[in-house]
Structure 1
Amino acid sequence: MAFRLPVVSDPEIPEGAEVSASGRLPRWLKRPIPRSNSNHMTAGLLDELKLETVCDNAKCPNRMECYSQQTATFMILGAVCTRPCGFCAVHRGRPPELPESDEPERLAEAAARLGLKHVVITSVTRDDLPDGGADHFYRCVVAVRERTGATTEVLTPDFVHCKPSLARVIEARPDVFNHNMETVPRLYRRIRGPKSDYAWTLQMMLDVKKYDSSVRTKSGLMLGLGEERAELIDALADLREHDVDFLTLGQYLQPGEKYLPVVRYVPPEEFDELGEIARGMGFKKVASGPFVRSSYHARDMAETAV
């Protein structure tokens, strides 16, 4: 039995969107807890080097799995975000400090001690900084490459209306540039906040290739927020038209009561179908499934792409 959430009367949420009446997660969203001392080792190292991860701050459901495999997605520029996105558990407010000058070296040290071959670097949004933190991204990518020789992937904010910031990040020559679209145009500002701009996001992906055509571009969307199938397919087509190489599709999970509710839990077979559709559109690599996140198994995606 299922019921319609009270919010479905909102004109932005389609009729018929349903979740479980019990409020419990469907069976496909239940998974065993990994048993490994590596989980504690990774957490201890991050604590020792005073590094933040999106795994912890965003309450990622894959945290224990990734930590047990001695990997993590590093989150630079602090743990306070200037954007009030309705889906994200990262603390929002006014960041109390400027970027830490030694953070690139500490990040590179962690990557070296974990033996990472592919390092994913993301950040909170820092609208309070003139460049949005772009130069700090540059320094982190360079530090990791010089220390470890690992490939690098950046998952950046939108640097809205500040193209020089994007150019500075690409100047560091990350192997993969990732910026998540997150949702369809109709829901964009409701999900991502008033400063977000769908057209800007798409243009930014094209601009990456203009700055350096060797950089692979990547984007992802969360499903289950009220998007309709046709508009989702249109959004994927927009990404391909803007030369995006890699795509991730995952299930949105509400991180707490004050965040946007889940409108629908998308079954695994539907994720499989959408993945096939996306591959048919020409994405070089697609990861599509309930637990997929933008940096989940990122090394595999980067290495196995044609």
Structure 2
Amino acid sequence: MTVKPEWLRVKAPQWERVGNVKEILRDLQLNTVCEEASCPNIGECFSAGTATFLIMGPACTRACPYCDIDFEKKPQALDPTEPLRLAEAVKRLNLKHVVITSVNRDDLADGGAGQFESCIQAVRALSPHTTIEVLIPDLCANWQALETILDAAPEVLNHNTETIPRLYRRVRPQGDYQRSLEVLARSRAHRPKVYTKSGIMVGLGETDEEVRQTMRDLRSADCDIITIGQYLQPSAKHLGVAEFITPAQFDAWRVYGEEIGFLQVVSTPLTRSSYHAEEVQKLMVKYPRG
């Protein structure tokens, strides 16, 4: 594994606060993408009392070579108590904004859309003032399932494109670039008031122009928010890093994204899809959708 440059070093977390979040998660038997996907920002986010909840896991039905989530375990039956436990965690942590994501559950007819719906409803019941962001898989192009999630009225619908088209077969072999764009376009068409969001990783061998073209493709799908972050290799068995992108290049992409019409561009080496996701509340004030 390649040695990380100085700009990818993270500050030591406040372990007392981290321990409090972990205690709540263990008590309620919940998974977080922060832990399952080895996110480099886990200390900062847990210290701030935030977490991205991972439902229907931890086992995933896809084997993306960049991801540290377990795909070797057999997916279990959905737990009907999970939405209530998640909602209780949101209440205990007093979250103003919550991100709910999932593993891929291609074994389910609706891809897990019903569980997303139940989680949104449970959080609304216990924490009515908390804004909700869902980070969803592509649902195998089950558009009725997508509408089920959208009709539960989350404030933000996030679906990551992950990489540029040329690298899809290597990086995301069970995904489809055009299908991911369609998830976002259909979301906007079905629920125009819901903010749409997507994210990509860089440092896998893409060119500057390929990143910019992907950004243009996302804007063509009427995507509101984009996150761009450095890919970091979770272990020696995962895809290697082709290049560490400089902070200056990330800033150039941020400027370009704003120029082509994104409402919000979060582009730094340590950016992850749900990093500082609560900042979307400022966007909602600036660009209200009713």
Does the TM-score normalized on the shorter chain lie above 0.5? yes
Structure 2 residue 56 is the aligned partner of structure 1 residue 77: yes
Instruction: State the alpha-carbon separation in 1 of the partners of residues 7 and 73 from structure 2.
Output: 38
State the one-letter code of the partner of 2:143: K
Instruction: State the alpha-carbon separation in 2 of the partners of residues 116 and 103 from structure 1.
Output: 18
Aligned to 1:6: none
Structure 2 residue 102 is the aligned partner of structure 1 residue 123: yes
SS at match of 1:160: helix
TM-score by length of 2: 0.96
State the one-letter code of the partner of 1:265: F
Aligned to 2:132: 152
Q: After superposition, where does 1:103-182 map in structure 2 within 5 Å?
A: 103-149=82-128, 150-182=130-162
Quote the offset at 1:161 in angstroms: 2.5
State the one-letter code of the partner of 1:260: L
Aligned to 1:186: 166
Match of 1:249 among 228, 245, 254: 228
Aligned CA RMSD, in angstroms, stands at 1.2
Q: After superposition, where does 1:201-216 map in structure 2 within 5 Å?
A: 201-216=180-195
Structure 2 residue 18 is the aligned partner of structure 1 residue 32: no
Deviation sequence 1:197-240 (CA, Å, 0-9, x none): 11111111111112111000000000100111111111100000
Quote the offset at 1:94 in angstroms: 5.2
State the one-letter code of the partner of 1:147: L
Q: After superposition, where does 1:16-31 map in structure 2 within 5 Å?
A: 23-31=2-10
Task: Tell whether the 8 Å contact from 1:78 to 1:95 is kept in structure 2 after alignment.
Answer: no
Q: After superposition, where does 1:40-59 map in structure 2 within 5 Å?
A: 40-59=19-38
Task: Tell whether the 8 Å contact from 2:56 to 2:102 is kept in structure 1 after alignment.
Answer: yes
SS at match of 1:207: helix
Task: Tell whether the 8 Å contact from 2:185 to 2:221 is kept in structure 1 after alignment.
Answer: yes
Quote the offset at 1:35 in angstroms: 2.4
Instruction: State the alpha-carbon separation in 2 of the partners of residues 134 and 23 from structure 1.
Output: 38
Deviation sequence 1:162-214 (CA, Å, 0-9, x none): 11110111011100000000000000121111x31111111111111121110
Quote the offset at 1:146 in angstroms: 1.3
Structure 1: gaps (5+ residues): 1-21
Quick check: 228-237 or 103-112, which moved more?
228-237
Instruction: State the alpha-carbon separation in 2 of the partners of residues 302 and 293 from structure 1.
Output: 17
State the one-letter code of the partner of 1:187: L
Q: Are the structure 2 counterparts of residues 91 and 209 from structure 1 closer, same or farther at C-alpha, using a change threshold of 3 Å?
A: same
State the one-letter code of the partner of 1:66: C
Instruction: State the alpha-carbon separation in 2 of the partners of residues 301 and 261 from structure 1.
Output: 32
Instruction: State the alpha-carbon separation in 2 of the partners of residues 91 and 27 from structure 1.
Output: 29
Task: Tell whether the 8 Å contact from 2:134 to 2:158 is kept in structure 1 after alignment.
Answer: yes
SS at match of 2:105: coil
Instruction: State the alpha-carbon separation in 2 of the partners of residues 101 and 287 from structure 1.
Output: 35
Task: Tell whether the 8 Å contact from 2:104 to 2:137 is kept in structure 1 after alignment.
Answer: yes
Instruction: State the alpha-carbon separation in 2 of the partners of residues 23 and 205 from structure 1.
Output: 34
Quick check: 242-251 or 30-39, which moved more?
30-39
Task: Tell whether the 8 Å contact from 1:176 to 1:302 is kept in structure 2 after alignment.
Answer: no
Quote the offset at 1:297 in angstroms: 0.5
State the one-letter code of the partner of 1:278: G
Match of 1:64 among 30, 34, 43: 43
Aligned to 2:72: 93
Which has more radius of gyration? 1
